[in-house]
Chain A
Amino acid sequence: MAQFMSLADAVAEMVRDGDSVAMEGFTHLIPFAAGHEVIRQGRKHLTLIRMTPDLIYDQLIGMGCADKLVFSWGGNPGVGSTHRIRDAVENGWPHALAIEEHSHAAMANAYEAGAANLPFAMLRGYIGVDLPKVNPRIKKVTCPYTGEVLATVPALRPDVGIIHAQRADREGNVLIEGIVGCQKEVVLASKRTIVTVEEVVEKLGTTSYNSVVLPHWTVGAVVEVPGGSHPSYAQGYYTRDNSFYIAWDKVSRDRDSFLAWMKENVLDKTPAAFAAHAKRTA
């Protein structure tokens, strides 16, 4: 049941040390403000799940919040490496990071299986490739009707699912528009959820009968955080800050410049700092 909370209270109540946490949003609507709050509250030993770790997990992993990463494409899109993730995998800084690696198709299917209350997902995938040799959780099943051998991966059932959305109404019903990614599946697959939104409105103002709406009784904490997905974006509110993604390459390449950036822009800030980014016009 939706509960309106502050971001600090939502993270304190929903996210615990050692949890598996999925912060989703496929390039669009990435919940950066919530990720920063998890860092500020010093959560440890998390298993972080995300198709594209993006800068949000580069930051969480660089700050030592995670023991394990479950992912399918780990770069800075269009720019290059996520340097903090690489430093953790290649050099164990700030500590060792276990990885469980999939393809996009497998992870998308695994979230869907979680939402559908199934134990595993099945796909025509991983054919002729090496990933199953290094990820023992990728297995096979034989179709009982045709005999075709298909790949399987376990369903994703995160302890906590965290997403950012355009808006919620006073009851806590949530609207997501544009590139909707797999947020609906993540919320329905997760035990506990946090939804940050650009604004809380009287009426959602849906433009179509089929707009993605998560009913208030499917979500947990609902938090108004204008600008809360910067440098990702919220369609209809502000555009992706591509110049930030390009600039992050230099900031994150070096451990000291990364830590200085995190202190100035995350540790010494509050969620209200994101409001400045909400003014970028879409």
Chain B
Amino acid sequence: MADFTPNEIMTIVAARALKNDDVCFVGIGAPSAACNLARLTHAPQITLIYESGTIGTRPNVLPLSIGDGELCETALCTVSVPEMFRYWLQGGRITVGFLGGAQIDRFANINTTVVGPDDKPKVRLPGGGGAPEIATNCGEIFITMAMGKRAFIEKLPFITSMGHGPTGRERRAFGMKSLGPTKLMTDLCVFEPDPETKEMTVVSIHPGVTREQIAENCGWTPRYIDNVPETPAPTKLELETLRDIQARTKAAHAA
């Protein structure tokens, strides 16, 4: 088994979740790395869409922002931002929305707005951007986030984008047809929603990770499916492809 970092297996597992025929709305950061790794390995025909308006983009280096020129130059076409949100996202053309976040709860609701009360914020985060509408207008949502007690918390101070709602029942109550978060890929394990309660439940544990580690990095007591399998370790091809694009990206951004 090759050596790999927790962050590398998180990105690789996230990439594996994507299919060749997906139309994927890509968030910046970890989601962008995972989506392009998928494109460069098992899903060469995947359609990647960034909210800056680039459709079918195939960047050679990972963008620092969602609007780097590389995205436009390698895209099939580029549309205006109002068109992107109206016709393509709200129009129901996107199969998978791929999000990151600062804080998440057991029903995969996400906070990227503020830590502390909103009228007197302690730490002001960037806010929602495209996420509130990505979360509800895509066929399903994948989330990738590293675990930690400050990130995986019992009760969010603010819901920036809805997962399965504060009780796990809100999607059905709103009559929503989209599935919401179906996978949460972390640096320690993978969660999927329980079919009934919608609580995010551990469905595989990465090689070498213990349940104690998962508990120590989770603000609620996580549930597990019966007979949790081990996540298949990264392959040589996956690791080399990821490291190649990250090295190219680092060199390009420093130039």
Against A, the Cβ 8 Å flags (1 = close, 0 = not) of B2-24 are: 00000000000000000000000
Segment of B115-123, B188-196, B209-217 engaged in the interface with chain A: B115-123
Q: In the complex, which residues 46-94 of chain B have their Cβ closer than 8 Å to any Cβ of chain A?
A: 51-54, 63-69, 71-73, 78-82, 84-86, 89-90
Q: Is A104 an interface residue (CB 8 A)?
A: yes
Against A, the Cβ 8 Å flags (1 = close, 0 = not) of B165-199 are: 10000110010100000000000000000000000
On whether A77 and B128 interact (CB within 8 A), knowing A51-B81, A105-B89, A178-B72, the answer reads no
Q: Is B162 an interface residue (CB 8 A)?
A: yes
Q: Is A16 an interface residue (CB 8 A)?
A: no
Against B, the Cβ 8 Å flags (1 = close, 0 = not) of A110-136 are: 011000000000011111111100100
Contact yes or no, B65 A72, CB < 8 A: no
Task: Give the interface size bracket for A toward B.
Answer: 35 or more
On whether A77 and B78 interact (CB within 8 A), knowing A72-B128, A72-B129, A181-B53, the answer reads no
Q: In the complex, which residues 178-198 of chain A have their Cβ closer than 8 Å to any Cβ of chain B?
A: 178-182, 184-185
| Cα distance, A249 to B85, chains bound together (Å) | 30
Q: Is A78 an interface residue (CB 8 A)?
A: yes
Contact yes or no, A179 B159, CB < 8 A: no
Contact partner, A128, options B79, B82, B86, B165, Cβ 8 Å: B165
Residue ranges of A at the interface with B (Cβ–Cβ < 8 Å):
26-28, 51-52, 71-75, 77-79, 81-82, 85-86, 89-90, 101, 103-105, 108-109, 111-112, 123-131, 134, 178-182, 184-185, 233, 235, 239-240, 242-243, 245-246, 282
Contact yes or no, A179 B53, CB < 8 A: yes
| Cα distance, A124 to B137, chains bound together (Å) | 8
Against A, the Cβ 8 Å flags (1 = close, 0 = not) of B241-255 are: 000000000001111
Contact yes or no, A128 B159, CB < 8 A: yes
Contact partner, A77, options B64, B73, B160, B171, Cβ 8 Å: B64
A interface majority secondary structure = loop
B interface majority secondary structure = loop
22 CB < 8 A contacts A-B? A73-B130, A77-B66, A104-B130, A108-B81, A123-B133, A124-B133, A127-B132, A127-B136, A127-B176, A128-B159, A131-B160, A179-B52, A179-B67, A179-B72, A179-B78, A180-B53, A180-B80, A181-B53, A184-B80, A185-B82, A243-B253, A246-B64
Contact partner, B253, options A75, A180, A246, Cβ 8 Å: A246
Contact yes or no, A239 B64, CB < 8 A: no
Smallest CB separation, B116 vs chain A (Å):
9
Contact yes or no, B69 A129, CB < 8 A: no
Smallest CB separation, A157 vs chain B (Å):
15
Q: How many interface residues does B have (CB within 8 Å)?
A: 57
Contact partner, B82, options A101, A182, A233, Cβ 8 Å: A182
On whether A182 and B254 interact (CB within 8 A), knowing A27-B68, A127-B136, A128-B159, the answer reads no
| Cα distance, A184 to B86, chains bound together (Å) | 16
On whether A79 and B64 interact (CB within 8 A), knowing A178-B72, A242-B252, the answer reads yes
- The chain B residue with its CB closest to the CB of A71 is B127
Contact yes or no, A105 B85, CB < 8 A: yes
Contact yes or no, B136 A103, CB < 8 A: no
| Cα distance, A82 to B129, chains bound together (Å) | 14
On whether A77 and B52 interact (CB within 8 A), knowing A108-B81, A130-B160, the answer reads no
| Cα distance, A276 to B53, chains bound together (Å) | 29
On whether A105 and B90 interact (CB within 8 A), knowing A181-B80, A239-B69, the answer reads yes
On whether A245 and B64 interact (CB within 8 A), knowing A104-B51, A127-B176, A240-B69, the answer reads yes
Contact yes or no, A27 B66, CB < 8 A: yes
- The chain B residue with its CB closest to the CB of A280 is B255
Contact yes or no, A78 B67, CB < 8 A: no
Q: Is B161 an interface residue (CB 8 A)?
A: yes
